[in-house]
Structure 1
Amino acid sequence: MRVAVAAAALAGVAVASVTGGTGPVDAQDPFVPAELASYEPSGSPLFTDAENPSMSALGHVVSYEYSPNETISPLMRVRTEPSVAVPNPPNGRFHGLSDDGCVIGFRMPPIPISDRSLYPLVRFNRCSGNSTFLGYADRQILGSAAVDADGSVIAFPAADGIFVYTLNGDALATEALLPLPSQGWGAAELAISDNGATLAAIAGAGPNSFGGLDFSELYIVDVASGSFQGIASTANRVSMSGDATLVAYRNYELGTITVLDRSAGQNRPVLPASDAYLSNDGRHLAYRLFGGDNSYVYITTSGDRWATSTPAEFVSYTLPGVNSFVTASDPVVSEHGRWVGWISPYPFLYVDQPGEIGRFQQRQALVRERRPVLTVQSIDYGTVPGPTDRTSTVTNVGPSGWRVTAIESTGPFQVRSENCPAVLHPGQSCQVTVRFLAQTQGQSTGELRVRDNSYPGIPLLATGRLIGSFDPGTPPPRVTTTTISTVTTTTQPGTPQNVGLSITPSPIVFDSSVVGQAAPTRDATVTNVGDIAVTVQSVGIAGVATADFSIIDDGCTDEALAPGASCPLEIRFTPTAGGSRSAAVSASGTSGTFAAAPLRGAGRYEVELEVSPEVAGGGQVVSVTGTGYPASTSVQVSLAGSPPQSASTDAGGRFVVQWLVLDGTPQGVVQADDVATVDYDAEPADLRIVPSPMRPQGNLATLDRLARNHVSR
């Protein structure tokens, strides 16, 4: 039974989301065509407009303002989920988006009170579904809100000052008005650091009759003290890196984009442009240039804090079939430069009208992916007499940063060490040392895999080939570089003797276990399979999930083993994450002996869903609480077959989502369920729907009415 329920918070903002995604994408072609990021809510009129775009740090959320018929509403498009409209139905503008893509701050329409107007300021958290009324501005808001990384600090530029709100979770904690350096001034633009401690502000004389400033200057603002540091005159179009050390702005007198390196105390002119936007990591600059009657969006990159920059890359264009006239504007770029967004007309619609030809233009938000491209050097070990280490060079040859989330090997190969940074920026390289275990005589193959799983729904995978042959009788190779080290067997002059160790069983497989809880231990045996005595010098564990496995009883280290003799090991598996977990246990001995055996296990989560109340009628809000999930992750939950709602778990793996049961919902028992993954799948929780005379309540229209009533009192 499909039940008419609407995802909602207590404040009544509608939310709908599902998980989308594909398997790993081969990172080969960095050019991905632009796609529409904006959309029209159902029932909206034609000829709508999108303006004031913003983008999350990852680029997975694009927000903009939707303005049909002279009204404006902030909307968010989540690329891996259905579109989310916020608010619904009241209007608002001057919105800003948090780096995590969860929170927007915006201004609702003014409320006239006698001879003046009050401007309600609102914060909406799409990830929790909650909205927070921040307060009233009794002066005009002149520009978009600045929202820090997680939405805990929101600032609004206004006539005569800057409104700053701090939050604890979704609850308002403090509010302040920071006065500007001079009376009669207004603040028109803001950029904010990730921690909310620093603002870059454009302020100057005004507002004038057009709502703008007569002139504007750039200031750095310390939020805690409210102090203003003057940086540049004739400045606008400000943006800032997340650590607040790089600030980009336009000198409108000279028409150039300049980057202030605060750590070096230097202003560095970059290029002439009409406006620009600096990525959160400070390495990528999207900007707008005019060419004749048209304007275009370009991007450039710097690895030395804008002392130099790469040649301009053209990124904006029209979609197929669109009129050739182009007005790309308002560029934005995600962290590491992977996603670029802009506003562009699409399409032109020509409509016959009496006596003339009318042209209607629809402005759309567009995004384009600049996918990183990684090369992973293949390794050919040749024929070796024993375990051998060699190094692969991994290089980012693409236009944007690659987040290194995992480095793995397949086959009889083991990652021994690597020096790759968390993000491999364009042109950067790192090294990965891989050991060929050389256990089975003959040729073996495998892959070295480097993953970027940071972007929801589009995992990236780059691979290099591993190939080697094991022949115990082969003379040891001559080592000519520091990237090759070979473990070989040795013999005394005279009759050749066999030497070697083995570990059994191989592989060593553990029962699956709840994350953080130990599985039953497994015993392993190290045996001298050679013709001469060997002393075991060390045993250890290495590999991708090294922290998940431990040797709790070592009966081998310093043990002298005669030919055919054995010693015991006891190994424990305690998964630190869900899914398949792997590593290897190894033993090294005298005479260059070495052996290894794969370790395999799987982690799982014991998750549980609870519905409260368990019996509800139309107009009531129902909470679904989940426990035992992975910490700090996104979970999709559905109620009664409704579109799944997205929630983020806290550090303890807990979340709460809410639904508003609509009046007229059919009676009966329905279920809340998570969208199962390989890592977790909770048993559904029951909700009984009963008749109720209550009507649906608690949307943002109610918030608007409550705001008016509050003011009238």
Structure 2
Amino acid sequence: MGVTQAAADDVAPTPVVSEPVPVVQSVVSQTPTISSDGRYVVYAGAPLLPDDERDSTVFLLDRAGDKVVELTTLVDGIRPGNSVFPVISADGCNVVVITEMALDLFRDDDANDRWDVYTLRLPWCEGELGDWSLVSTTRGTGFESSAADDVSPLYPPAVSGEGALVAYTHRFSGTAPDLTGITVVDLTVPLGDPGRANPVAGAPAAAPDTTFRYHGLREPVLSEDGNVLAFTSDANAASPLGEWGTGPQPGGFATSHVYVWDRANIDPNTNVRRISVAPGGESGDAGTPAVSGDGNVVAFVSTASNLVPGATLPVCDPECPPQVYLFDRTDGSLTLGSREPGDPTLPPVAANLGATKPALNRSGDELIYVSRSTNLFPTRSSEVGGTLDGDIVVTVPSIGTVQRMSTLADGITPAPAANSNPKVSANGRIVVFDTLAGAAYGKPPVDGRQIAIVEHPPVLSLSNLDVGTVAVLFPGPEWFLVLANQGPSSFIPALVEVDNPDFLISGGTCVDQIGVPVPPGGVCTVNLMLMPSVPGKIEGTLTIHEYGFGSQTISSELTGFGGEPALAPSPGGAEAHPMVVGSRDEPMVFSVFNVAFNPVRVKSVRIEGSNPDDFQVGTDDCSRKGIPASEACTLEVLFTPTASGRRTASVVVTTTDGAYTTMLVSGDAHWEPKLAVSNTTAVAPSKVQVVGAGFSPNTPVWVSWADGAGKPTLVVTDGFGGILADVTLRPNDRAGNRTLVAQTADGQLASADLQVIVPRRGGRSNSPRWPGN
């Protein structure tokens, strides 16, 4: 017997969630990374002491107590130097940095270019602050192995989930100082021993000798287990011989591609794969890879125009705007990640101004990137910041949602497009990035970038359940509850328990797949039954837990009755179609069977539970009627939502003897507001009246121009969900076809087009200032 808020094989509806608000650090800081659980954030920043003349040092933020500690402090006897690109391992135990400081006094002679890679194990993992270990070394044994002094400070290092593997970019060779290579270091192998440091698979043995120019191998990223390493290269790393590549024109740079090295595959003929090329050949450069923690999904940036057949890309003029792509290693598919929101099964329309800087959560179902594109959101942000800055965009490709992370305190107004370098926790719940617009977020202005942290927990639903009357000491029918995740981040079940042993958990995906994320738009199930130990009412609470920092729990109240069962419904529950608030769905039909050995009479049919006002009993052939043994009566229930979101209720059918049975009904509802203007053509200066309907009642609504001009106008809907507002057109407003947007913090959205005419100042014969008028 099934009870569900969404059929087990259905996809939950596109979630409507409010935009989160970033929390910005008050100091100069940049290039953050975050631990898997979202507790620890490391970043580079300006030193705090006034006599510290370095440009950059490394800090660690513990979000559990909002404590910040500097990791690369000045040390007596060690020449000061900058430290950049800190990376924290997924378990939050290890930090890897690139630094000029000779933190290993025995092996680092503090000479040449000075840049080396070091790692630090943190105190809560039996480490000690200041106890840095050298990673980048020359070949040799024992103390013959010294600091390499050849690390590139332009590309961040990579570290596996437990910190045992580190990959970094360095000078390819002494004879090719402008060329880069990648070395992978296994820290479980003693320093200087064979096998500790090895070049990335597919690296050429010697510097190139061709008519093309080269950047080299660079930008390594690692999966949590270290078995998947993605990187950028203009050498053909998929060739066992490691041949240098070619480009569109001799004398220019060779084409760069993204490669994936499966380190668990020892076959050099198949363990490296090029993922950034279409069957028809290459048509652009690729780079900036990111890999999901489980290693199954790789994101990258490419200017190629032929990677995804059927995709609508912006015009190349002459350069093609870069786009973010997703490569799925499980099936070899390649999809466009930076796309307009909407049905993911339709041909994609790309971000019209491009996208860069991808990041992925652990399971690869949430993608974050940077974009200035104007076709992703109804409103635009101001165009400030650097060439790689923009909005911080979060998308769930499987359900086609797109969300802006970089909003101001109202959760609506876009922050200036001066944000970059996003990273995300394993469950996608915490996003970190850096910004030049710290003052816009409410922080005192500083001379530089500042890191911002955004938390956007998932919206979960789990119905209460009343299983009705069950025979004492006999197990009743099996029911199932569905935990639905409406996004915008994942939920990871770790423990499912019930506090009354009369309720038996018998399985379900929430139970059988502990630790497997429930992605946005996804569901997991809990199967259970009641075996009453005593007669009478029985109550319990089912709870599904996460573990770790920032974990969530969700509970369901369980009810039943120990006695002689008389009724059994078919089906045990039903799911309505998604509906607009205030509308009515087609009936959900139930048959209620008499399972007793004698005729029974139905006393009543009632709707109870969480949202009883959202459902109505329609045709009722059960109430106040007798049902012969083994026969059934029929009733219909209508979904009539009064509010948005997940709506659930129980239909309770009771006999004159007090036995009862229940059916769980549920549905999803959303608002569908409309917006209109008093006149679709307006001449400035003047006022335009904006009229809206279909919003939720008594709700703040922000009315603004889609192009980001001016400040939003805040109005509150009336008791029927309507708005009425005046928008002032000023003489210096932009003329042309424009759009007004009305939206709420929880995503209700409507727009209206308006042609704005701004007369030229002076020079017209009908102007009041014209001589003679």
TM-score when normalising by structure 1 = 0.54
**Cα gap change, 1:204 to 1:139, in 2 (>3 Å):** farther
The answer on 1:363 being equivalent to 2:363 is no
Q: How does 1:355-394 map to 2 (within 5 A)?
A: 360-386=446-472, 387=474, 388-389=476-477, 390-394=479-483
Structure 1 residue aligned with 2:227 = 197
- Letter of the structure 2 residue corresponding to residue 433 of structure 1: N
In structure 2, what is the equivalent of residue 279 of structure 1? 361
User: Following TM superposition, by how much is the alpha carbon of 1:435 offset from its aligned partner in structure 2, in angstroms?
Assistant: 2.9
Contact 1:279 1:336 in 2 (8 A): yes
CA contact (8 A) 1:30 1:372 kept: no
Change (3 A) 1:85 1:470: same
Q: Indicate the SS of the match to 1:162.
A: strand
Counterpart in 2 of 1:441?
A: 535
Map 1:339-418 onto structure 2 (within 5 A). Answer: 339-345=430-436, 347-348=438-439, 360-386=446-472, 387=474, 388-389=476-477, 390-411=479-500, 413-418=502-507
Gaps of 5+ in 1: 1-27, 40-47, 207-212, 304-308, 350-357, 493-713
Q: CA deviation at 1:31?
A: 6.1
Q: Which amino acid aligns with 1:73?
A: T
Deviation sequence 1:327-348 (CA, Å, 0-9, x none):
1211112223211111123544
- Among the aligned pairs, what percent are the same residue? 21
Deviation at 1:225?
A: 7.8
Report the equivalent of 1:219. 259
1:153 to 165, 172, 194: 165
- Is 2:410 the partner of 1:315? no
- Structure 2 counterpart of 1:508: none
Aligned letter for 2:168?
Answer: F
**8 Å contact from structure 1 (residues 323, 348) kept in 2:** no
For 2:112, the equivalent position in structure 1 comes to: 116
2:148 matched to 1:137?
yes
Shifted more, 262-271 versus 114-123: the winner is: 114-123
Counterpart among 159, 162, 165 of residue 182 in structure 2: 162
For residues 337 and 51 of structure 1, the distance between their equivalents in structure 2, rounded to whole angstroms, comes to 20
Please tell me whether residue 236 in structure 1 is matched to residue 287 in structure 2: yes
Change in Cα spacing, 1:231 to 1:110, as seen in structure 2 (3 Å) is farther
Which structure has more strand as a fraction of its residues?
1
Matched, 1:175 2:197: yes
**1:248 to partner: Cα distance:** 0.7
Structure 1 residues 220 and 369, CA gap change in structure 2 (3 angstroms):
same
Instruction: Report the Cα distance in structure 2 between the residues aligned to 1:413 and 1:398, rounded to whole angstroms.
Output: 33
Match of 1:259 in 2: 326
Using the TM superposition, give the Cα deviation of residue 444 of structure 1 relative to its aligned residue in structure 2, in angstroms.
2.8
Native 8 Å contact 2:29 2:434 kept in 1: yes
Distance (whole Å) between structure 1 residues aligned to residue 447 and residue 408 of structure 2: 14
Q: Deviations over 1:334-374 (max 9, x none)?
A: 2232111111235449xxxxxxxx98534221111221222
8 A Cα contact 2:117 2:151, kept in partner: no
From 1, 19, 29, give the equivalent of 1:50.
Answer: 29
* Kept after mapping to 2: 8 A contact 1:384/1:477: no
The whole-number CA distance in structure 1 between the counterparts of 2:470 and 2:44 is 64
Q: 2:297 aligns with which of 227, 240, 246?
A: 246
Deviation for aligned residue 1:276:
1.7
Cα 1:220/1:429, change in 2 over 3 Å: closer
Q: Which residue of 1 aligns with 2:23?
A: 35
SS of structure 1 residue aligned to 2:337:
strand
Q: What secondary structure, in the 3-state scheme, does the structure 1 residue paired with 2:100 have? A: coil
Partner SS for 2:418:
coil
- Tell me if the contact between 1:166 and 1:172 (Cα under 8 Å) persists in the aligned partners: no
The letter of the residue matching 1:462 is I
Alignment of 1:576-595 (within 5 A): none
Q: How do residues 94-113 of structure 1 correspond to structure 2 at under 5 angstroms?
A: 94-109=85-100
* Structure 2 residue 69 is the aligned partner of structure 1 residue 79: no
Residue 165 of structure 2 aligns with an amino acid whose one-letter code is: V
- Aligned partner of 2:561 in structure 1 is 469
- Bigger shift: 226-235 or 54-63? 226-235
Contact 1:50-1:363 at 8 Å conserved across structures = yes
**How far apart in 1 are the matches of 2:17 and 2:302?**
36
Partner of 2:631: none
Letter in 1 for 2:469: T
CA distance in structure 2 between the partners assigned to 1:483 and 1:169 by the alignment: 58
Q: 1:175 to 1:375 in 2, by over 3 A?
A: same
1:518 maps to: none
Contact 2:504 2:530 in 1 (8 A): no
Q: CA 1:326 to 1:254, structure 2 compared with 1: closer, same or farther past 3 Å?
A: closer
Supply the distance in 2 between the matched residues of 1:258 and 1:138 (Cα, whole angstroms). 35
Inter-partner Cα distance in structure 1 for 2:33 and 2:218: 17
Structure 1 residue 243: Cα displacement: 3.5
Q: Is 2:285–2:302's contact at 8 Å kept on the other side of the alignment?
A: yes
Q: Would you say the 8 A contact 1:418–1:430 is kept in 2?
A: no
Change (3 A) 1:214 1:71: farther
Do the aligned partners of 2:292 and 2:362 also contact (CA within 8 Å) in 1?
yes
Question: Residues 499-538 of structure 1: matches in 2 within 5 Å?
Answer: none
Alignment partners' CA distance in 2, 1:384 and 1:244:
47
CA distance in 2, matches of 1:439, 1:243: 45
- Paired residues for 1:650-689 under 5 Å: none
Q: Which amino acid aligns with 1:220?
A: V
Does the C-alpha gap of structure 1 residues 51 and 215 become closer, same or farther in structure 2, counting only changes over 3 Å? farther
Over 3 Å counting, the alpha-carbon distance change for 1:187 and 1:64 in structure 2 is: farther
Distance 1:151 1:249 in 2: 23
Matches within 5 A, 1:610-689: none
CA pair 325-220 structure 1, distance change in 2 beyond 3 A: closer
1:412–1:438 Cα contact (<8 Å) kept: no
**Equivalent position SS for 2:427:** helix
Q: What is the CA–CA distance in structure 1 between the aligned matches of 2:192 and 2:87, rounded to whole Å?
A: 17
Letter in 1 for 2:447: Q
Distance in 2, Cα, partners of 1:385 & 1:443: 12
Q: 1:430 is matched by which residue type in structure 2? A: C
Secondary structure, in 3 states, of the residue corresponding to 2:568? coil
One-letter amino acid of the counterpart of residue 156, structure 1 = Y
Post-superposition shift, 1:297?
Answer: 0.8
The two structures, once aligned, show a CA RMSD in angstroms of 3.9
Deviation of the 1:439 alpha carbon:
3.0
Aligned residue identity for 2:464: S
1:269 aligns with one of 336, 345, 354: 336
Q: CA deviation at 1:284?
A: 0.7
Correspondence list, 1:327-338, <5 A? 327-338=418-429
1:71 is matched by which residue type in structure 2? D
**1:401 corresponds to which letter in structure 2?**
S
What one-letter code is carried by the residue in structure 2 that aligns with 1:123? Answer: T
Per-residue CA deviations over 1:44-68 (Å, capped at 9, x if unaligned) read xxxx421111122222221111134
Q: Distance in 2 between matches of 1:374 and 1:323?
A: 26
Question: How many pairs does the alignment contain?
Answer: 432
Give yes or no for contact 1:376–1:392 (8 Å, CA) kept in 2. Answer: yes
Structure 2: how far apart are the matches of 1:417 and 1:171?
51
